[in-house]
Amino acid sequence: MKTHHRIIDLLKTQGPLTAKALAQELNVTTMGVRQHMLALEESGEVTFQDEKAPRGRPTRYWSLTQKTNSHFADRHDELTVQLIDSVIAVFGDDGLDKLITNREESSMRSYRLALADRYGVLEKLQTLAKIRSDEGYMATVEQEDDFFWLLENHCPICAAAKKCTNFCRSELQLFQRLLSDVAVISREEHIVEGARRCAYKVIPV
């Protein structure tokens, strides 16, 4: 994978990073990373924010712009929105709700089968994150004190979710039902509402 693409992936999954941090992740020199960042800035794919440091010069943090969305799976945004409009036109809002419910139930069957031989919240979450990553969500799991985060750094159905928020409601319900016997789940960050990622707080019961 080209260095440009690796940098974009790192900024997508980890959020704003310094050139030094990127250099450590990529095992290259900080000067080399800065050259890549200048090129990415010129192409409009990254931007930066200087944050005041305790001493010396401000620390520069690099982050992605909306332009980089084209690098990630989008599930054919325009077609998706057109199909949603068509479903509403032909079957009404109730028809769209039935479609979303059917999608949720189909995913539930598939996810339950994959998690059937997984035990404990962490093992189940790691398997779920792998499934979601395969579907384009760039999902990871992090542990914090006595709870976990299921983090989705990309939304491959973002256009559909913006068009109909019931897709997002359905996905939250799906996770809550899927892990109801082992955890309580809430969504704390939401891409559709302007966040960098969707963050689900998972509290074991």
Residues 49-78: pLDDT tens digits? 999 888 888 999 999 988 887 777 655 566
The reply to whether 113 and 185 lie within a common domain is yes
Residue that terminates a domain, selected from 46, 71, 96: 71
11-20, 41-50, 84-93: range with lowest mean pLDDT = 84-93
pLDDT at 71 (0 to 100): 76
Task: Note whether 54 and 30 are same-domain residues.
Answer: yes
Q: How far, in Å, CA of 189 to CA of 182, rounded?
A: 22
Asked whether residue 62 falls in the same domain as residue 81, the answer is no
Same domain, 81 and 177: yes
Judgement on whether residues 106 and 197 belong to the same structural domain of the protein: yes
Q: 54 lies in which domain range?
A: 3-71
Q: Judge if 123 and 151 occupy the same domain.
A: yes
Which residues make beta-bridge pairs with 185?
Answer: 202
Number of domains in the chain: 2
In SS3 terms, the chain reads as CCHHHHHHHHHHHHCCECHHHHHHHHCCCHHHHHHHHHHHHHCCCEEEEEECCCCCCCEEEEEECHHHHHHCCCCCHHHHHHHHHHHHHHHHHHHHHHHHHHHHHHHHHHHHHHHCCCCCHHHHHHHHHHHHHHCCCCEEEEEECCEEEEEECCCCCHHHHHHCCHHHHHHHHHHHHHCCCCEEEEEEECHHHCCCCEEEEEEEC
Same domain, 159 and 92: yes
- pLDDT, residue 74, reads 56
Residue 12: which of 136, 173, 112 has the closest Cα? 136
The CATH code of the domain that includes 27 is: 1.10.10.10
Q: Full-prediction pTM beyond 0.85?
A: no
Q: What six digits make up the tokens of 2?
A: 């080209």
Q: Are residues 183 and 134 in the same domain?
A: yes
- The set of residues, in sequence order, having a beta carbon less than 8 Å from that of 90 and lying 6+ positions away, is none
Same domain, 178 and 115: yes
Summarised one tens digit per residue, pLDDT across range 29-38 is: 999 999 999 9
Pair (10, 96) in one structural domain: no
pLDDT digits (tens, 9 = 90+) for 116-163: 999 899 999 999 999 999 988 899 999 999 999 999 998 877 766 676
Same domain, 159 and 138: yes
Q: Are residues 103 and 179 in the same domain?
A: yes
